[in-house]
Structure 1
């Protein structure tokens, strides 16, 4: 989401340079203890470089990040055809609270998201920037066979420009080919996606490990989001699960 905002607002391009000091970085620590040194925006995305994206977040500011989070559905908890009780803990305005902007820019901090919301956001990237409210139920049928109730799919709205979505797809491919998401690579069909590792506060080693992505790479048909609670990292715990699930889906496609 921060990458989408940066590209839309012209804060960063794929070749924009940032500096990562690793554990000695004066803004936020990176998982790479030695640091990435000078790193492009594209590589920072692929390698999940915290200092680079923290600096992107500071350049954008809290209000722009909150705005794009809303455009990409992170303020929507509803699912068409299925009742969802809103969780009051999900509050995007917390990004604007003191000291939260840097952490929120790298997927940490107080803001919560669900796997369904993340999946819908990735669907917007796949759909040339058009966001649609997720739908779980198409229709409820009577025992006699007729439709008792139907749930129309969302017509969608343009959340980000098509060219921004195209660049994001390139970045997701890079992350899976050469970056932190290599364990999610699906042979023959191709895949693309992004890792995430959100600290839980339970221990330094324990994180909510994420991977979300799509396949096949050309004309994508499926999106899978994996969340492993108390995992090691997105690349170690979630990416291999994504690959296994997607391989089985495509095997029977």
Structure 2
């Protein structure tokens, strides 16, 4: 949905990014965060314009080489980004609490597996309470290695999916299709250094289910902008939801 160009103006390089007008908030989110985050840097946004139903932004270009990041580096970037954005007061970012999550779920309920379709709002609220009652910060919402630029500092890019919500969801996004949860991820997502127990495992599995439901919502919503069914992605997410729900039941019962 986005187009990105490297351009030169007066012999200086910039990023020119073009979105559908519906996603103009991405640029305002990045502009806000670039003035707030100091440890994890956010590229500056110099100008935002609208033309022919498109949102256009001129951004800072960060010179870098493509380097493979270690898992601990990625986890550290998430931790520091969350630390700097815990107390954000801005209506640019929606608050992703249970009500926001449930609104998405209702809109795509027909795409969900039976184990979730049959649950009432009250049952779902109780089931996911430990996620939505946990600590909040700005959530990037699309965390993967390509969103992190490393030169002398770490830079974070692409905020089209960002919101204010439970911190654990950013960790879940990275590992949403992993079949084995890594110990250090459980420790980091819990926000404290302690030996992982079955409660931590269950909580993380629930956060994976939330992210996968959000992914299905995103796929269905993207149909308005792209001529695709996203059937393969929806099926993949459903399989992962079933796998994680079974793992939650198994973890709790043992």
TM-score by length of 1: 0.26
TM-score by length of 2: 0.26
Structure with more helix by fraction: 2
- Larger RCO: Structure 1 or Structure 2 (Cα < 8 Å, ≥ 6 residues apart)? 2
